[in-house]
Amino acid sequence: MIQTPYLLFLGDAPDQLAAKVAQGIKDWRPDNAVGQFRMEGCKADLKLPDMDLAAAKEAGAKTLVIGVANRGGVISQAWKKVLIQALEEGFDIASGLHNLLRDEPDLVEVAKACGRTLHDVRVPSVKYPIADGKKRRGKRLLAVGTDCSVGKMYTALAMDREMKERGMKSSFRATGQTGILITGDGVPLDAVIADFMAGSIEWLTPDNDEDHWDVIEGQGSLFHVSYSGVTLALIHGGQPDALVICHEPTREHMRGLPDYKLPSLEEVRDAALLMARVGNPDCQVVGVAVNTQHMSEDEARAYLSEVEQRMGLPATDPYRFGCTALVDAVAAI
Amino acid sequence: MIQTPYLLFLGDAPDQLAAKVAQGIKDWRPDNAVGQFRMEGCKADLKLPDMDLAAAKEAGAKTLVIGVANRGGVISQAWKKVLIQALEEGFDIASGLHNLLRDEPDLVEVAKACGRTLHDVRVPSVKYPIADGKKRRGKRLLAVGTDCSVGKMYTALAMDREMKERGMKSSFRATGQTGILITGDGVPLDAVIADFMAGSIEWLTPDNDEDHWDVIEGQGSLFHVSYSGVTLALIHGGQPDALVICHEPTREHMRGLPDYKLPSLEEVRDAALLMARVGNPDCQVVGVAVNTQHMSEDEARAYLSEVEQRMGLPATDPYRFGCTALVDAVAAI
């Protein structure tokens, strides 16, 4: 569990896109973000108050979150200076970078001396159980995709937000490093040992109130041969009552696999339900979330209308048109 | 290399299935197994001579192999006492448990003091790639199960043996600790990091002669919610041309999951083919391997005949009746 709220470290981000993790935190958990720390030459701006470490401390920030991709896969000396000072001034540090904070001896040494914690959210910090498949109380929603990177995290976050706005009991459950940094908690599923994948998701989505929804971030796709095992562990560990199918209709082949075409929505629906009903016979598909960023608004609306007709399910682009219909369908369960 | 022959340690195995590691070694490398070591309460029996450490030493055993698997792979204090004594009496120890011998300070200390070796065969020793899904030359056969522990490894080993006897080009590809202990190499798939599971199986079954068969040991089941992700990674990483469905017809529920019934052979066939054809559109099911150990011979023959009729596929118990018909079907591809 990462201590909130955060000071968002943007470093020397070369552009706005490099700070997309920080942007995600600001967009989805604005209360977690008290300010931004920008170094000289930083080209990203979250429109948050610029703060130095002392000001952020004063504002209540407990953790400095590295919300920016680094260049060349190294933690630069310029960054180091700030990070070490942050530890000395009483901040924990959280990072989703490939190169781990814990592999930097100087950071480890200072963190230890100051009694601070280094959070590498790409690496599991919990000893997960093996899944026992027992029925848990409460409801669970899982985003499943035709492919990787089609908007599963965005869809889950958007639905969680709308559910909370309606007064429904809802928790977004992160399964990837960005989601973990946004919420301060979760399972970095792609880094979990194979035998414990489904168990880690049971751990993430425990017994809860009967009317509480865990909104689980999806990963991969049953049809993506590199990562399908991760997806199936999510389906069986998550025991979802409801599935939302996520799709990006202009993609010409599976991400990273030029020889593989995307499955149809029907194929994903049938395969995901077949597998999900092993763990939860009542599981149903409640709707389709489409990433229409590469379509005009007219094209997008026509496509969504066609999908609704064909599938007999609500279809929307949560980013462009909101997710009212999807949450309506969930609320009706 | 693990020094042979072995004393097979069965510990306090709760049932015969828990000792499948030892059973596999005894079945496939009988010359390596001089005896069994059973503790009080042990419910498994390999029908090998029961030996204490001194007797096993006298009989020439060089390594004590932990031939029993616990859920979660815990090394209990009761086991520890025996293991430490074994090291002191001059045995190496080999283990496929999740909990590593090398992570137990007392074992490490005694092994070092006595000049003995601790073998953890489960630890991946290779940095596996992420799967790229590219079509590879050569043929691949994969055993898929209705459940865990229904005879997938046995079936693969038996088919590999018969294929070799017929002069076919064949390699048994181990994906679990027993197979690795038997053959000396393989991928300890259940200990692989999630993102690299399918890639590890691509690595295990690389390009080969067009008429060469990799006979891949299966793991778990698409219908076993604890381990299904591992199974799907095998199906997508293995790119099988042929599947053999493995089944144990007297089992009343999924192993370790009292609330889960076994799927039918038809359900396994359909789900496995659906998923396998994502990676290899030509994949087919060639037969059914049934573990009939809990049936009389008449019952077994009647059951196999019924399955052949119903499925339109050869069905046999490889242990009881050989696997001629299954290898015939593979040879016809």
Residue B300 tokens read as 């077994």
Contact A232 B229 (CB under 8 A): yes
DSSP secondary structure letters along A56-124: HHHTT--EEEE-SPPSTTS--HHHHHHHHHHHHTT-EEEE--SS-GGG-HHHHHHHHHHT--EEETTS-
Global ipTM: 0.94
DSSP secondary structure letters along A209-222: -TTEEEEEPP-S-T
Contact B225 A257 (CB under 8 A): no
- Average pLDDT over chain A, rounded to an integer: 96
pLDDT confidence band for B279 (50 / 70 / 90): very high
Give bridge partners of residue B254 from the DSSP assignment: B257
Contact A132 B226 (CB under 8 A): yes
Q: Determine what percent of chain B is predicted with pLDDT higher than 90.
A: 85
Q: Is the pLDDT of residue A231 over 60?
A: yes
Min Cα distance B153 → chain A (Å) is 18
Cα nearest neighbour of A236 on chain B? B225
Which is nearest to B229 in space by CA: A97, A22, A130, A179? A130
pLDDT confidence band for A112 (50 / 70 / 90): very high
Q: Is the pLDDT of residue B313 over 80?
A: yes
pLDDT (0 to 100) of residue A185? 94
Average pLDDT, stretch B71-89? Answer: 87
Cα nearest neighbour of A238 on chain B? B225
Contact A194 B271 (CB under 8 A): no
Do A24 and A172 form a contact (C-beta atoms < 8 A)? Answer: no
Interface residues on B facing A, Cβ-Cβ cutoff 8 A: 71-72, 98, 130-135, 189-195, 197-199, 222-223, 225-233, 236-237, 254, 256-257, 259-260, 263, 271, 274-275, 278-279
Contact B225 A198 (CB under 8 A): yes
Within 8 A of B189 by CB-CB distance, chain A residues are 194
pLDDT (0 to 100) of residue B72? 58
Which is nearest to B33 in space by CA: B62, B58, B13? B62
Do A144 and A245 form a contact (C-beta atoms < 8 A)? Answer: yes
Chain centroid, CA A174 distance in Å? 5
A168-172, A213-217, B183-187: least confidently modelled range = B183-187
Interface residues on A facing B, Cβ-Cβ cutoff 8 A: 129-135, 189-195, 197-199, 222-223, 225-233, 236-237, 254, 256-257, 259-260, 263, 271, 274-275, 278-279
**B309 membership: H or E segment, kind and range:** helix B297-311
Which is nearest to A260 in space by CA: B139, B279, B240, B140? B279
DSSP E strand boundaries for A138-270? 139-145, 169-173, 212-216, 242-247
> How far is it, in rounded angstroms, from Cα A162 to Cα A171?
11
For residue B191, give the DSSP letter.
G
> How far is it, in rounded angstroms, from Cα A224 to Cα A256?
9
> How far is it, in rounded angstroms, from Cα A323 to Cα B65?
57
Phi/psi for B215 (5° steps) reads: -100, 105
**Residue in the structure block whose two tokens are 């190294």:** A74
> How far is it, in rounded angstroms, from Cα B151 to Cα B145?
8
pLDDT (0 to 100) of residue A332? 95
Instruction: Report which of residues A73 and A16 the model is more confident about.
Output: A16
Contact B194 A195 (CB under 8 A): no
pLDDT (0 to 100) of residue A70? 77
Within 8 A of B133 by CB-CB distance, chain A residues are 225-226, 254, 257, 259-260
Per-residue pLDDT reduced to its tens digit, A38-47: 999 999 999 9
Q: What angle do CA B229, B233, B237 make, to 5 degrees?
A: 175
Residue A182 tokens read as 């946004």
Residue B271 tokens read as 């789900």
Chain centroid, CA A311 distance in Å? 27
Mutation for testing the B interface, residue in A136, A142, A226 having most B CBs under 10 Å: A226
**B11 membership: H or E segment, kind and range:** strand B6-11
| Exposed/middle/buried for residue B98 (C-beta within 10 Å: 0-12, 13-18, 19+) | buried
> How far is it, in rounded angstroms, from Cα B192 to Cα A192?
8
Do B196 and B189 form a contact (C-beta atoms < 8 A)? Answer: no
Q: Is the pLDDT of residue B232 over 90?
A: yes
Contact B133 A274 (CB under 8 A): no
Within 8 A of A135 by CB-CB distance, chain B residues are 259
Do A92 and A64 form a contact (C-beta atoms < 8 A)? Answer: yes
Do A142 and A234 form a contact (C-beta atoms < 8 A)? Answer: yes
For residue B99, give the DSSP letter.
S
For residue A254, give the DSSP letter.
B
pLDDT confidence band for A14 (50 / 70 / 90): very high
Q: Is the pLDDT of residue A71 over 80?
A: no
Contact B226 A199 (CB under 8 A): yes
Contact A225 B131 (CB under 8 A): yes
Average pLDDT, stretch A51-65? Answer: 98
Contact B275 A271 (CB under 8 A): yes
Q: Is the pLDDT of residue B202 over 90?
A: yes
Contact A226 B192 (CB under 8 A): no
> How far is it, in rounded angstroms, from Cα B264 to Cα A43?
59
pLDDT confidence band for B70 (50 / 70 / 90): low
Sign of CA dihedral A12, A17, A18, A24: positive
Average pLDDT, stretch A214-241? Answer: 98
pLDDT (0 to 100) of residue B71? 54
Per-residue pLDDT reduced to its tens digit, B32-64: 899 999 999 999 999 999 999 999 999 999 999
Of A130, A229, A279, the CB nearest to B194: A229
Average pLDDT, stretch B212-237? Answer: 98
pLDDT (0 to 100) of residue A318? 98
Chain centroid, CA B97 distance in Å? 13
Contact B194 A194 (CB under 8 A): yes
